[in-house]
Amino acid sequence: MNDLAIHGGRPVRDTLLPYGHQSIDEEDIQAVVKVLRSDWITTGPTVGEFEEAFAGYVGARHAVSFSSGTAALHGAAFAAGLEPAAEAITTPLTFCATANCVVYQGATPVFADVCTDTLNIDPQEVARRITTNTRAILPVDYAGHPADLDPILDLADRHNLVVIEDASHALGADYKGRRVGSISHMTVFSFHPVKHVTTGEGGMVTTDRPELAARLRLFRNHGINSDARQSQTAGQWYYEMVALGYNYRLTDIASALGLAQLRKLETNLVRRRQIARLYEATFSEMPGVIHPPERPEVTSAWHLYPIRLDLPALRFCRAEVFAALRAENIGVNVHYIPVHQHPFYRERFGYKGGEYPRAEAAYDSLISLPMFHGMTGRDVQDVIDSIDKVIGYCRR
Ligand SMILES: Cc1ncc(COP(=O)(O)O)c(C=O)c1O
């Protein structure tokens, strides 16, 4: 009997395999070094080049970069006109930044429960939550699987709302043949190291609407209506601050990395899909484990690979399975603690738990397995062997 590592047996791996990891090659390094040797290291020409290339890739008219995905969400909340008294509807099953950007603007996030298959926001639940104060809907493309955007955009049309899609997980995903980034009124991306493209920290908002792009640019630059490079080039000193903004600018250093990374995105997406297929082929035959779905009308970007445990079929709860997998040196994670269950949201908005039964039930059974394009065949097999070992032991 192959003892579980948590019981003193030999772990499947000798070193920890993280759940996500960046890949940086020599081309990335040289691109950054080139900018370091140039005149502009903060917001200069490379930012513009990165924005243009990014807009071209997703098929949007405008791309506005930010210093993080969170800053990009904040910019989008500002551009959408969220202010005190406004409500914005989002999913509880996301990273807290999606809801926080609404709070930053003094507005109120309202949660709508998720679909039981994709764990994306359920458009019917969104419809139930719309009031006269609703101004925006923030769907999240959970794990890289696009939310059901058409019914959400229909609701937005009917109620005059802005759709801010949080596509932090979904760079390169498609929905009904359209690329994520070209569908919603604004789409937000993150370039955190575990994402498909990294700039260290960084983010982007894409939009087809010039007035939204202008508000985004204003917001990331203190609310000032010109940028330093424009002024310097034009030999001008005068500028006006016309709204309260922030310094949320991305640097040329980061943008050089982003540009070099973007060139490898398609290859990396292919690798992520391969890994997802290998996992799916195994887990669809393994009682006790439910693999994430991919609806026929979408192509997921496979940022995460969140399996669900079939808890009635197992003798142990998620925390125990999680600890056993960690002991095998598999760097599992959990995405996400539903946002309304965090102490800040409980205290500020009075949530008690039980309000969003589908998201809460999903949370109890979720475990994210390692998923990143740099994983080797050996890494993938180690994950499969560990799940087989641990779930085999846990099955009733
Ligand atoms: C769904 C979601 N939204 C927003 C963010 C925030 O992005 P960043 O870390 O770039 O600020 C993340 C990052 O992990 C995320 O996963």
231-266: pLDDT as tens digits: 667 777 888 999 999 999 999 999 999 999 999 999
Nearest CA to ligand 1 atom 7: 69
Is a pLDDT exceeding 80 seen at residue 227? no
> Is 352 assigned a catalytic role?
no
d(CA 208, CA 185): 7
Q: Which of 21, 2, 30 is nearest to 390 (CA)?
A: 2
Omega before 336 within 30 of 0, i.e. cis? yes
Look up the pTM and report it.
Answer: 0.97
Give every CB contact of residue 253 below 8 A, 6+ residues apart in sequence.
Answer: 32, 35, 36, 41
Choice among 195, 264, 352, 389 that is catalytic: 195
| Bridging pattern class, strands 186-190 and 162-166 | parallel
Nearest CA to ligand 1 atom 8: 69
d(CA 162, CA 156): 6
Ligand 1 lining (C-beta closer than 6 Å): 68-70, 94-95, 97-98, 140, 166, 168-169, 190, 192, 203
Average pLDDT value over all residues in the chain: 96
56-115 residue pLDDT tens: 999 999 999 999 999 999 999 999 999 999 999 999 999 999 999 999 999 999 999 999
